[in-house]
Amino acid sequence: MSKDMSYKGVMSRRNEIMKKAVGIDYDMFEGEGIAFDYERMMRETGYTLEEMMEIQGSTGVGNTPLLELKNITSLARKFAKKGKGARIFIKDEAANPSGSFKARRAANAVYHAKKHGYKGVIAATSGNYGAAVASQAAIHGLKCIIVQECYDSRGVGQPEIIEKARKCEALGAEVIQLTVGPELFYTFLRLLEETGYFNASLYTPFGIAGVETLGYELSREMRELIGRDPDVVVCTNAGGGNLTGTARGLMKAGAEATQIVGASVNLKGLHMASDQQFNKKSFTTGHTGFGIPFATWPDRSDVPRSAARPLRYMDRYVTVNQGEVFYMTEALAQLEGLERGPAGNTSLAAAFSLAQELDKDKVIIAQETEYTGAGKHIQPQLSFARKNGIEIKFGNPREEIPGESIILPQHPSLIKTVDIDLNKIKKSYIKNCLENNHIREVRDEDMEFLATDTKSDLAFVKKIINQLK
């Protein structure tokens, strides 16, 4: 008897398909309510830090340069108060084989797939992760399929996404391009079931743990350079895996005092699943359209429990605007001789502003860069925005309206981060936990889990729960 391959039929088997494709029985980590054993999941299904370093090193991943941006630091100090203006460093993750930090996530996932006898890997992504998975699959001799949300209903694709598809294909992957909408997850599930390939999800313990090596390297390298840990590390935040893995690596290095800042591009008002708004944004990752939803409900991902849980580790969450990131991308090229993709410079734009708040003897790190290519350059992105009715001009970035305008700073002093109220985000997360788990009475174990998962305490959790009641 043939299986029902309709949308409804495939979606009804999603848990069965996922369990087989990931090879993890998530039930073994579950409690009776909201809580689950996160650390056990990371420990029993992941790899030790030493194992990850060995796995990544065998394919040329990791140990990327940590560079001091002396000219950009000097520029920031011109606008800082006397005695302010921290030293700005950047971790050049574009040096990885596929050109981004996501090579660290892919290295672990693909290694695990090969070790357990899978013939191929599949990932649903329109970003750098697809290229990372394709690169690692090529090294390990596995087949690779990348399912990519690429076009709107007119068949118009964003230049950055098309560039990433080109890179995936160049690395030997089969790329299946789709229009924006619910067919992405359906197609992904159907392919996993038909092929029996490994689900190289961004959100498994393998993927998140892979980024721990990055955080560990940051601590080790700063200790070698200045004899202590960095004061602030700024992580571009989308689905939360980048920040989660980096923070965990810093903690494993003993860098407990380092402040972890998440930074996202402000795309407030744009809906990521809207066909009409799909091409109204100039950033396909690292923006609030992913950063906010995944922070307030991380388990919306393609696995039962996401290993990316940014609220566990985030000390501060800030946004920057599109025009500011484009400006800092140009500044990095012209002042430091580093031409890198705009999306990876979200953390740099934030670091440039935040450095002006810190004393001169402090150190702030923009935690990653990404490769650049034809569709990732500033000009094709701005030209595409103009074709889609977006006004491009110089002025004050605070006046930028996502989907209507991109405002490049008239002057670098206008680059300023805007803080997001983390307590508001945490309240939304707790609310989602209660509603999605149909909880009426919250157990003590759930209270403790929520306090840990929001980097707060029991008093805060109880206060929020009483407000929600």
Domains and their CATH numbers in the chain:
7-55+100-207 (3.40.50.1100), 62-97+208-419 (3.40.50.1100), 430-468 (no CATH)
pLDDT value at 222 more than 60: yes
| Sign of the alpha-carbon torsion through 121, 125, 131, 132 | negative
Q: Note the pLDDT of residue 272.
A: 79
How far apart are the C-alpha atoms of 22 and 310, rounded to whole Å?
A: 22
How do residues 146-163 score in pLDDT, each as one tens digit? 999 889 889 999 899 999
Per the model's pLDDT, the better-predicted residue between 242 and 441 turns out to be 242
3 state SS of 1: coil
Residue 306, CB half-sphere, CA atoms under 13 Å: how many? 23
How far apart are the C-alpha atoms of 381 and 377, rounded to whole Å?
A: 7
List beta partners, residue 318: 263, 419
The model's confidence at residue 374, banded by pLDDT at 50, 70 and 90, is confident
DSSP characters for 333-359?
A: HHHHS----SGGGHHHHHHHHHGGGSB
Residues with Cβ within 8 Å of 439's Cβ and at least 6 positions away in sequence, in order, are 33, 34, 433, 446
How do residues 415-460 score in pLDDT, each as one tens digit? 999 999 999 999 999 999 999 999 888 999 999 999 999 999 999 9
pLDDT value at 196 more than 90: yes
Note whether 238 and 263 are within 8 A (CB). no
How far apart are the C-alpha atoms of 364 and 234, rounded to whole Å?
A: 7
Residue 254 backbone class (left: φ over 0; alpha: ψ -120 to 50; beta: rest): left
Residues above pLDDT 70, as percent of the chain: 100
Q: What is the DSSP letter of 262?
A: E
Cα torsion 198, 200, 205, 208 to 10°: value is 170
Note whether 33 and 437 are within 8 A (CB). yes
How far apart are the C-alpha atoms of 134 and 125, rounded to whole Å?
A: 12
pLDDT value at 204 more than 80: yes
Nearest to 220 by CA among 250, 256, 183, 187: 250
The model's confidence at residue 302, banded by pLDDT at 50, 70 and 90, is confident
Note whether 319 and 283 are within 8 A (CB). no
For the segment 252-266, the average pLDDT, to the nearest whole number, is 97
How far apart are the C-alpha atoms of 148 and 68, rounded to whole Å?
A: 35
How large is the C-alpha radius of gyration of the chain? 21
- In sequence order, what E strands does 163-273 have? 174-179, 198-199, 232-236, 259-265
| Sign of the alpha-carbon torsion through 439, 442, 444, 447 | positive
pLDDT value at 1 more than 70: no
Kindly state the tokens that stand for 154: 């007119």
pLDDT value at 336 more than 60: yes
Residue 298, CB half-sphere, CA atoms under 13 Å: how many? 27
Question: Long-range pairs for 331-334 at CB < 8 Å and ≥24 separation?
Answer: 331/72, 331/75, 331/412, 332/69, 332/72, 332/90
3 state SS of 146: strand
pLDDT value at 47 more than 80: yes
The model's confidence at residue 125, banded by pLDDT at 50, 70 and 90, is confident
How far apart are the C-alpha atoms of 317 and 288, rounded to whole Å?
A: 11
The model's confidence at residue 14, banded by pLDDT at 50, 70 and 90, is confident
Q: Note the pLDDT of residue 45.
A: 77
Note whether 440 and 28 are within 8 A (CB). no
